[in-house]
Amino acid sequence: MVETLNAMAQGGRQGQTNPLTTIIFIVMIIAILYFLLFMPQRKKEQQRKQMIEHLTKGDEVVTTGGIHGTITRIKEHTVVIKIAEKAEITVEKNAVSKVQERR
């Protein structure tokens, strides 16, 4: 019976993989996830920060709420947007989702 257990134990070891191979595989998966998911997200965030820093008076913008208007004043953390003839709103700079192309 002991001989049978020894034979079974040795047979099980023959099919095992090298732990280094497993570690390399995990590192490769993490690297692929980093380049496919995290890098593009970081790049988009940098572009958004740059867009917010370069807001100027007269830019036509769209807010995250979908409000279209033209920037009339810029303060430290807020912008004043003209949305109609005599209507202006004040929103956080972070609420500006995009600057529209001038026509």
Q: Do residues 80 and 90 lie in contact, with contact meaning Cβ atoms separated by under 8 Å? A: yes
pLDDT at residue 6 in the model? 53
CATH entry, 56-103, from 2.30.30, 2.60.40, 1.10.3820, 2.120.10: 2.30.30
* Domain limits, the chain: 18-54, 56-103
- Helix (H) or strand (E) segment spanning residue 46: helix 39-53
b/e burial code for range 70-95 (CB count within 10 A of at least 16 → b)? ebeeeeeeebbbeeeeeeebebeeeb
**Structure confidence by residue, pLDDT tens digits, 10-66:** 554 555 778 888 999 999 999 999 889 888 999 999 999 999 999 999 999 999 999
Contacts 24+ apart (CB under 8 A), 14-20: none
